[in-house]
Amino acid sequence: MRLILTTIILTMLVQPTWAGTLVEIQLVDKLDEQRGFCIDIRGHKERAKVHRGLQAHTCYSYQGQLGVDQAFDEQLISRGKFYLPAFDVCMEAEDSVAGSRLNLEACNDTDKQRFEFTANDQIKLASNDELCVTVDASASKQGGGGTPLHLLRSLALTNCEKSGARYTTWRMLALPSN
């Protein structure tokens, strides 16, 4: 009994708690993934690899919950920050030019971490509003889990107009987090 109580207490201390509304950022066009693509940390849920940056991955909402590696703070998005509270990191542009990757870093107040979720549902880099968070148009790759297997694609900043709405139009979806 003592071991069970110790395990429960340690689990509560290690797992982050969050009172704000968490959302997944889902591509509106499902492309070749009927469960949808979401902005996701590379790696698997709690074991995600923050240092490897972001990708587009099968959304976990089909399971009835948000994955911690896809759960963003809705309130901060409205202020230009894409914050993942379970990992205490923010989305950051590698650079402010087309083709830049999307990384994760400790939150700060630099231009590389300021994004705007626009009225036409694009996510633009605030310091260069010609650049949008864009899902790669190439075919999806199979991930390591899920039934059927989860799919993934690269994410990068690209020219909004040249990339097309299919790859740059997003929505926020709130569900219970896991």
Q: Are 33 and 58 in contact (CB under 8 A)?
A: yes
Lowest mean pLDDT segment, chosen from 14-23, 34-43, 59-68, 120-129 = 14-23
* Sequence-separated (6 or more) residues with CB below 8 Å from residue 103: 53, 54, 91, 92, 93, 94
Tell me, which fold does domain 21-174 have in CATH?
A: Trefoil (Acidic Fibroblast Growth Factor, subunit A) (2.80.10)
Q: Is the pLDDT of residue 119 over 60?
A: yes
Nearest to 157 by CA among 100, 86, 118: 100
Rounded Cα distance, 170 and 178, in Å: 22
Q: Is the pLDDT of residue 76 over 70?
A: yes
Predicted TM-score (pTM) of the model is 0.85
Q: Is the pLDDT of residue 8 over 80?
A: no
pLDDT tens track for 84-115: 999 999 999 999 999 999 999 999 989 999 99
Q: Is 9 exposed, middle or buried (0-12, 13-18, 19+ CB in 10 A)?
A: exposed
Q: Are 40 and 50 in contact (CB under 8 A)?
A: no
pLDDT of residue 177: 57
Across the chain, mean pLDDT equals 87
Q: Are 136 and 157 in contact (CB under 8 A)?
A: no
Q: Give CB contacts under 8 A, 24+ apart, made by 114-121.
A: 114/80, 114/81, 115/80, 115/81, 115/82, 115/91, 116/80, 117/77, 117/78, 117/170, 117/172, 120/169, 121/28, 121/169, 121/170, 121/171
168: left (phi over 0), alpha (psi -120 to 50) or beta: alpha
pLDDT of residue 16: 42
pLDDT tens track for 46-70: 778 888 999 999 999 888 888 999 9
Q: What 3-state class would DSSP assign to 118?
A: coil
pLDDT of residue 12: 37
Q: What 3-state class would DSSP assign to 125?
A: strand
pLDDT band at 178 (very low <50, low <70, confident <90, very high): low
